[in-house]
Amino acid sequence: MTLPPSFPQSFYRALNKAAKKAGISRATFALKAIKFYSTELDKRTAPATTALGPVDADKYAEMSRKVSQTWWSKLSEAERTARAKKAAQGRWAKNKKK
């Protein structure tokens, strides 16, 4: 087996070791690693992170999540259903315009 010139042998050794440790295939491990790294980069460059800093941005996200959960938990099932239908109709209408 020949290796592509873009990756050194040490890359494949590290990939094999990490994939075996996780108990998944090399391809699955590599894809999950890329998704994880991409998500972390997005978090670092998010407007809230650049404006508030990483620690305060995490606190803001947690606070926002809790406020939203509390608000939604206070709605009745009928209200939640109606809001979900309205949001779905809005998404479909927006997609039809494209």
**pTM, full prediction:** 0.55
The sign of the CA dihedral 37, 39, 45, 50 is negative
How many domains does the structure of the chain reveal? 2
Say if residue 90 is in the same domain as residue 60.
Answer: yes
Say if residue 27 is in the same domain as residue 62.
Answer: no
pLDDT along the chain (98 residues), means of 10: 74 94 95 95 89 90 94 93 92 75
Say if residue 58 is in the same domain as residue 98.
Answer: yes
Say if residue 37 is in the same domain as residue 61.
Answer: no
DSSP class per residue in 47-79: HHHHHH-HHHHHHHHHHHHHHHHHHHHTS-HHH
The answer for residues whose C-beta is within 8 angstroms of residue 52's C-beta and 6 or more apart is: 60
pLDDT given at position 1: 60
Say if residue 39 is in the same domain as residue 13.
Answer: yes
pLDDT given at position 54: 86
Two tokens, residue 84: 């979900």
Residue-number span of the structural domain to which 91 is assigned: 53-98
Say if residue 86 is in the same domain as residue 63.
Answer: yes
Longest distance between any two alpha carbons in the chain, whole Å: 62
The answer for residues whose C-beta is within 8 angstroms of residue 15's C-beta and 6 or more apart is: 26, 29, 30
